Copies of this chain bind each other. A is one copy, B any other.
Amino acid sequence: MAKGKKKVRIGMIGYKMMGKAHSHAYRDIPFYFDTEVVPVLQAISGRDEQGVRRAAEKMGWASVEMDWHHLVERDDIDVIDIVSPNNTHADIAIAAAKAGKHIICEKPLALSVEQAQHMLDAVNKAGVVHMVCHNYRFAPAVQYAKQLIQQGKLGRIYHVRATFLQDWLMDPGYPLVWRLRKDVSGSGTLGDLGSHIIDLARFLVGEFSEVAGMMETFIKERPLGDMDIHLQGKVESSEKGEVTVDDAASFLARFENGALGVFEVSRFSRGNRAGNRFEINGEKGSVRWDMENMNNLHVYLEEDDPGLKGFRTVNCTEVEHPYGRVYWPAGHIIGYEHTFINLLAEMMRGISKGISPNPNFEDGVRNQMVLEAVERSVCTGKWVNISDVSYR
């Protein structure tokens, strides 16, 4: 299926849940898309030899490396895909850029605005193609919301409210995984989930102007240990460590275009497994979206006839919808993994054109600025202007 097509050879660092999502997406791209370049699963890298070998075999990677530096240096690698913990992103990306590799990086881009800026400088200097994995943008319903907004169907935007609510962390026996340690993850729920809804808001509404935030860590200490992505049970360990990130965060926001935003993320919202939801209200209409029924966009249009006004449930699987001809006939839904297929297909298109599609490292820096502004606001108890967060 790649006959006569240019192949780009991927080297991926990390191989757990995001590694699985990316690997699957690379495998599916040539099946579903007609991109000019097609990905080849060349090599993955990880520190646990047995784990990385098993992953490579299972997911179809041709070779493995124990040290990411080796991977970055390999001549037979065109793209470095970074799915390792947040504290490794900057070093890897900067090295990869220097080696002239195109780069995909998981979100949040970095541990700080400064670090993100260095990464952006590196890719700009190297002239490589780069993207950040804010995959939810690539749900067809979200892309369609963007189209409606760009076409002016909602008019001036007044409001955005967005949440990303989960509940996997509520058991006090859940261990102190890397996501709960600030030195590794940079921030907690805010960075992990907040960066996603910040990206959606930037994509759909525009640039943030100022924010005021609140954060909380409900459970301050947890047993040391690690978890499998699917496992939800307790880990038996008598030793405990301090949770150094937030369990929940929320913030108010003003946008440059005058819109108002209300954002909330939490890992302590019972019954919410992947409560990634938004509503945007404009002068002429509104849209609502919920990741748990991600194929639907609920659209309200004030121009509808009197008596017939109401949110309509649009199942974004029609040929008129973004990616509507890629998958299945109308009404035959797609899922979470397809957001990655779409995103990485855009990366392939970007590579063939030499253009970094959004969201790229520039978006990553701007996203990081909002995260940092929220954190500062939490510290100071005041509103923080995004432009006051250093960005060169």
Contacts and interface: CB of A to CB of B under 8 A. Distances in A.
Given A262-B250, A329-B230, A281 B270 contact: yes
Contacts of A271: 281, 285-286, 300, 302, 309-311
A235 interface: no
A35 interface: no
A91 interface: no
A332 interface: yes
Interface string A315-331: 10111110011011111
Nearest to A253: B214
Interface in A217-251: 218, 229-232, 248, 250-251
Nearest to A56: B1
A303 to B, nearest CB: 10
B17 A31 contact: no
A87 interface: no
A161 interface: yes
Interface stretch (A57-65, A191-199, A343-351): A57-65
A282 B270 contact: yes
3 nearest A-B pairs in the assembled complex, by CB-CB distance: A273-B331, A271-B300, A274-B331
Nearest to A324: B230
Contacts of A295: 292, 335
User: How many identical subunits does the complex contain?
Assistant: 4
Contacts of A273: 315, 317, 329-332
Contacts of A163: 161
A353 interface: no
Given A299-B308, A304-B312, A17 B264 contact: no
A283 B318 CA distance: 19
A269 B309 contact: no
Interface string A266-284: 1011111111000101111
A325 B230 contact: yes
A251 B252 contact: yes
A352 B296 CA distance: 39
Given A252-B251, A332-B335, A159 B269 contact: yes
Contact of A335 (B27, B212, B300, B338): B338
A178 interface: no
A75 B271 CA distance: 53
A61 to B, nearest CB: 9
A306 B314 CA distance: 10
15 contacts: A3-B57, A24-B31, A158-B218, A158-B269, A159-B248, A166-B331, A168-B329, A212-B252, A251-B252, A269-B286, A271-B310, A272-B281, A292-B331, A304-B312, A307-B320
Contacts of A93: none
A262 B260 contact: no
A154 B168 CA distance: 16
Interface in A327-385: 327-338, 381-383
Contact of A300 (B212, B270, B284, B334): B270
Contacts of A270: 154, 281-286, 300, 302
Nearest to A32: B24
Nearest to A282: B270
A307 B144 contact: yes
Contacts of A332: 273-274, 335-336
A313 interface: yes
Contacts of A306: 318, 320
Contacts of A49: none
Contacts of A314: 307-310
A333 B382 contact: no
Given A252-B250, A329-B229, A329-B230, A321 B307 contact: yes
